[in-house]
A and B are shown apart, each in its own frame.
Chain A
Amino acid sequence: MENFTPYSAFLGGSLIGLSAALLMYFNGRIAGISGMIAGAFDFKNSEHHWRLFFLGGLILAAVIFNLFAPHVPATYSRSTLLLIISGVLVGYGTRLGNGCTSGHAVCGMARLSIRSIVATVTFMAVAILTVFITRHLLGILQ
């Protein structure tokens, strides 16, 4: 575990929790990113504006952080085809299951929602199994 970074992880996680709490405090909304992406482009719905502002702020903050703060760059070893397959699965799956890591694993679990706990355990277990199969059994993805 030589890459283990518990302090920055806990600090970053706390900021994510603070963000979700403030969104509930001001707008009364759950900070679920997959739902927000879907809702941000639902132009018939007047509630799409704040979602665009949230996503814009998220991107902006991370871009500025990456410009000025030292960080370990990602290697990006995945092929274009795999990125597309994965993206489609994540997009379709999070709509079908009504949430992703933020909506279920953070917001839902913080409210002790049974659905969110079941969803989180399921996608974590499946993701761990996927890495085990591709990285260790088949040895095709590092």
Chain B
Amino acid sequence: MTKNKAALLCGILFGLGLAISQMNNPDKVLAFLDVTGNWDASLAFVMGGALITLATLQHFILKRHQPICDTEFHLPKTNNPIDKRLILGAILFGIGWGLVGFCPGAVLAAFGDGKIEPFLFTLALGAGMMLFNKFHETK
């Protein structure tokens, strides 16, 4: 298994997971966020399934000295400080997510709908990331 083949396999599983759970349907995501309306709790079960599976498996995986295709695990420290950047970033993401119901993974998994909206959103998402790079390069 090479890094690229492993990533392809993982991407396929991730995309299937998003499609099966319908998280690539923004109506479904907005219905989860609409707690005072006709609430649909499905997204919480997606997170639950993902967290239980990942937490269990990584317990064994991280006992290894290194991953199969690399010399080290690239993991962010879990005790990094909470700063303004993290909070502001989460707020901006939250507003954008609540307006349309797309997050970065879900929108890519919606390409199969054959509609223009996921592509438009992805272009804007890329523009937002480039804007960030521009703004933070000059600092």
Contact = CB atoms under 8 A, between A and B. Distances in A.
Q: Do A and B bind each other?
A: yes
Interface of B is mostly: helix
Interface in B53-112: 53-55, 57-58, 61-62, 64, 66-70, 72-76, 78-82, 85-100, 102-106, 108-112
Interface residues of B, number: 115
B41 A106 contact: no
Given A49-B3, A96-B92, A21 B53 contact: yes
B100 A13 contact: no
Contacts of A119: 86-87, 89-90
Given A65-B15, A67-B112, A76-B115, A122 B61 contact: no
Contacts of A19: 10-11, 13-14, 17
Interface in A1-58: 1-6, 8-31, 33-34, 37-38, 41, 49-51, 53-58
Nearest to B90: A122
Interface in A76-99: 76, 78, 80, 82-98
Contact of B7 (A33, A53, A60): A53
B11 A53 contact: yes
Contacts of B117: 76, 78, 83
Contact of A65 (B16, B62, B80, B85): B16
Given A5-B42, A115-B80, A118-B86, A134 B99 contact: yes
A57 B28 CA distance: 23
Contacts of B40: 1, 3-5
A15 B1 CA distance: 20
A35 B47 CA distance: 19
B4 A53 contact: yes
B79 to A, nearest CB: 6
Nearest to A29: B74
Contact of A123 (B52, B61, B91): B91
Given A13-B45, A97-B89, 9 more contacts: A14-B49, A16-B14, A19-B10, A27-B70, A86-B99, A90-B93, A90-B125, A123-B93, A128-B33
28 contacts: A3-B42, A4-B42, A9-B43, A14-B49, A14-B50, A15-B17, A16-B18, A17-B49, A20-B50, A27-B7, A31-B14, A57-B12, A74-B113, A86-B121, A87-B122, A88-B124, A89-B99, A89-B128, A90-B96, A90-B97, A93-B92, A94-B104, A95-B128, A97-B86, A97-B88, A115-B76, A119-B90, A128-B33
